[in-house]
Structure 1
Amino acid sequence: MLRLQPYDLKVSYKPGKYLYIADTLSRAALSEQSLKEVDQELDLHINMLISTLSVSPEKLKEIKENSIKDEVLSKIIIYCQNGWPEHKRSVSPSVKPYFDFKHQIYVIDNIVFKDTSIIIPFNMRNYLLNLIHEGHQGINSCIRLAKGTIYWHNINKDIEKFVSQCHTCLTFRNNNSKEPLISHDYKLLAWNKVGIISRVGPEPRSYIISSPEGEFRRNREHIHLPKYPQSIQVPSKPSVNSHHLPLNSNPT
């Protein structure tokens, strides 16, 4: 199969009556030398896969030792070596979650792979979860880090549970929340936006005031209110003289 990958094959059906030599493939069997070439290509493919893994040799050795001892992975190794059962009901219950994609599973030096991802033994999963969440990233970011590198059944749920229970993330989660953006509907009217800011709050920055030409400009219009606002003489304020009185008693 590896030797056929460089080619774009077109498969077509041919009725048996047109197969004049039915055993053509068996008569044109590959020689022993060709099989050795295939084995060499397979070894090159395996070595390339191992060399591109972002895992240290010490950690690979640890994964290998724990995979042999793991209850689930040890059975998967046996299935890969001796062949998978034909029906899912014949598979051990602990291995059933892996049966649906059994053709994507293979074993290299007692390390179980799913495509390019290493299937991690059970007793090393907590270590990998801590390593993935070392930078205290969010759930989706941690899932993306793990994708294509490590795998086990329900890994996404385990990552979501681990991140949602992180003490550090829970402590600073509210401090990092983003305020939603509020859109404003500006009209060509003076006093379009009127607000009241208490002493404990920040100083007002600007209000949107429309010019006589109908253009918007930003001005700082600040009227200081005493303890009892009803005693203020509003018409004497410069802002009122410039823009007249507010027309709405319930400004937005």
Structure 2
Amino acid sequence: MSKEQMKEMQCDVHGVQRFNKHSFGNHGNHKHDKEKSQEVNKDEIFVPMTVNGSAEINMKLDSGAQVNVSSDDEFHIVRSRAGPLRPTQTRLFGYGGVPLRILGLTTLQCQYKEVSKSFDFIVVDHDDVHSPPVLGLKACREMGLIQVVLTITNSPDCESASREILKEFKDVFQGIGCIEDEYCIKIEENAVPVVHAVRRGPLALDKNIHKELQRMEDLGVICKVDEPTSWYFDPKTSVTLETDASQNGVGAVRFQDKGPVAFASKAMTNSQRNYAQIEKEMLAVLFGYEKFHYYLFGRNFKVRTDHKPLEVVFKKPLHAIPVRLQRSRMRLQIYDADVEFTPGKDVPVADMLSRHFIESSSNKDDLSLDEDIQSYVHMVTSNLPVSDKKMKEIRKESSEDSQHLMLMKIIMNGWPQNLHDCPSSIKEFWTFRDELTVIDGIVYKGDKIVIPISMRKEMLERIHTGHMGIVKCKERARDDIFWPRMTADIERTVDNCGTCQQNRMKQCKEPMTPSEVPKLP
């Protein structure tokens, strides 16, 4: 190699790394086991090489190195036969771009088995390299240690071996690969079934797809199904939704042909657990609708619930039902459903699901529903023409009124099935029990405040402020407040008002007009 060529050479020696010193061979004794032609250590290959006809040195094969490299420790072993080092202008760098201290250039005669070649080695200070001598790509190829293979051809031996394997295991490579015995497919207990949309293939592959499906059908791999299976949904059959709510969960079942097709349940959020029972039952209906939206939307279906007041709620106008139910009804207006009451003994599946619901953390949909309902409730209650001070007073009096305490307890836990089972103190509320709810310690009938007994006299005086007549007083009261027999109390208050009676407009007395007396008998 000329000086000019050496000056132009500047390369990274990928094989030169800062190996641990223990990776060196035994410098005191370089005799290796001749029965072992090469040593493979993980991703590295070492070959025992006879150098200058005497010393046997373990060399590392590195196809990534462009030159041959040796430390001065290894060079001293063969120095007597190699002669002094020659100067070189070549610069070498290890990993990380660290320059190596080069001591010079030498030529070594390397022999492996029957092949013997002379190669230039760059000698590096032993403090910079802690690895056996490195044989670069060019030297490895000339020694026949590395062969570049760009194509793979089957040799006669490989083809013969392939034929033997196919012959020996003939049953494995023929047919569709069916297992001899029946196999029971098992899935995880908590696996959630899903419904995937029909897969759409590229139009250009349509014929090939049909051809492959037909081939698989002929082999018995798949079976063509033209009608709904016994476990899937039939859009031509009527649908019935069964829902129920417990204290802490809701359940829903979708029926077709009197048989259950799909089941669903979930735990209530902390705020939902504080709902009145009728609101929980409505929550169960809403959950069933939206859970099976794909199957229910755009068609008429029946809904069965064991909560009798809920059946009435769906028949009343929106403003006549509790505030929370109003918002839920709004979300259900896109569905065409007929809600009917069914005794609890006839809805056992939904009842079981509501009590053995799936425990899970609240997801975004649940939190969004809570926020949606709470925002609507706040909007309605904050727009009532009642001051915050008066609301606090109503809340305080309600908490001290025995009738109201019993009423709130029944509303939260659910009304009895029959009137005679209802506590006598609140029987007067029985007729409109489906319209009552409790919000922040105050009882509401629809969006009207139910006034406790201790405040009704005061409210009557406020209603009659200005000494308006019976009709005007009724109109003023009916917009915002309520209690049983309020209309009769208003009429009695106005009738007993002395000022109103004194200034009441009376019919003018018509003067007596005497008849003309005839002159003759």
Tell me the TM-score normalized by structure 1. Answer: 0.61
Deviation, 1:103, is: 1.1
Q: Residue in 2 aligned with 1:11?
A: 337
Q: Output the CA distance in 2 between the equivalents of 1:71 and 1:48.
A: 29
Task: Give yes or no for contact 2:381–2:447 (8 Å, CA) kept in 1.
Answer: no
Task: Give yes or no for contact 1:3–1:38 (8 Å, CA) kept in 2.
Answer: no
Q: Residue in 1 aligned with 2:422?
A: 91
Q: Output the CA distance in 1 between the equivalents of 2:415 and 2:396.
A: 23
Q: Residue in 1 aligned with 2:445?
A: 114
Greater strand share, structure number: 2
Q: Number of residues paired by the alignment?
A: 172
Task: Give yes or no for contact 2:395–2:441 (8 Å, CA) kept in 1.
Answer: yes
Deviation, 1:8, is: 3.5
Q: Residue in 1 aligned with 2:506?
A: 177
What SS does the aligned partner of 1:43 have?
helix
Greater helix share, structure number: 1
**Do the aligned partners of residues 12 and 124 (structure 1) sit closer, same or farther apart at CA in structure 2, a change above 3 Å counting?**
closer
Deviation, 1:148, is: 2.5
For residues 185-239 of structure 1, give each alpha carbon's deviation from its aligned partner in whole angstroms, at most 9, with x where no partner exists. Answer: xxxxxxxxxx89xxxxxxxxxxxxxxxxxxxxxxxxxxxxxxxxxxxxxxxxxxx
What SS does the aligned partner of 1:156 have?
helix
Q: Residue in 2 aligned with 1:100?
A: 431
Q: Residue in 2 aligned with 1:210?
A: none
Q: Equivalent pairs: percent with the same residue? A: 30
For residues 141-178 of structure 1, give each alpha carbon's deviation from its aligned partner in whole angstroms, at most 9, with x where no partner exists. Answer: 111110121111110111111100001111212xx235
For residues 98-135 of structure 1, give each alpha carbon's deviation from its aligned partner in whole angstroms, at most 9, with x where no partner exists. Answer: 11211100000110000111110111111111111111
Q: Residue in 1 aligned with 2:398?
A: 67
For structure 2, the residue ranges without an aligned partner over 5 or more in a row are 1-285, 287-326, 340-348
For residues 71-100 of structure 1, give each alpha carbon's deviation from its aligned partner in whole angstroms, at most 9, with x where no partner exists. Answer: 211111111222222221111111011112
What SS does the aligned partner of 2:334 have?
coil
What SS does the aligned partner of 1:153 have?
coil
Q: Output the CA distance in 2 between the equivalents of 1:12 and 1:90.
A: 29
Deviation, 1:11, is: 2.4
Q: Residue in 2 aligned with 1:154?
A: 485
Tell me the TM-score normalized by structure 2. Answer: 0.31
For structure 1, the residue ranges without an aligned partner over 5 or more in a row are 14-21, 181-194, 197-248
Q: Provide the alpha-carbon RMSD of the alignment.
A: 3.0
1:47 aligns with 2:373: no
Stretch deviating more after TM superposition (104-113 or 86-95): 86-95
**Do the aligned partners of residues 118 and 3 (structure 1) sit closer, same or farther apart at CA in structure 2, a change above 3 Å counting?**
closer
- Answer with 1 or 2: which has the greater Rg: 2
Aligned positions of 1:217-232 closer than 5 A: none
The code of the aligned residue for 1:109 comes to: D
Q: Output the CA distance in 2 between the equivalents of 1:12 and 1:83.
A: 23
Runs in 1 of length 4+ with deviation above 4 angstroms? Answer: none
**Do the aligned partners of residues 12 and 71 (structure 1) sit closer, same or farther apart at CA in structure 2, a change above 3 Å counting?**
closer
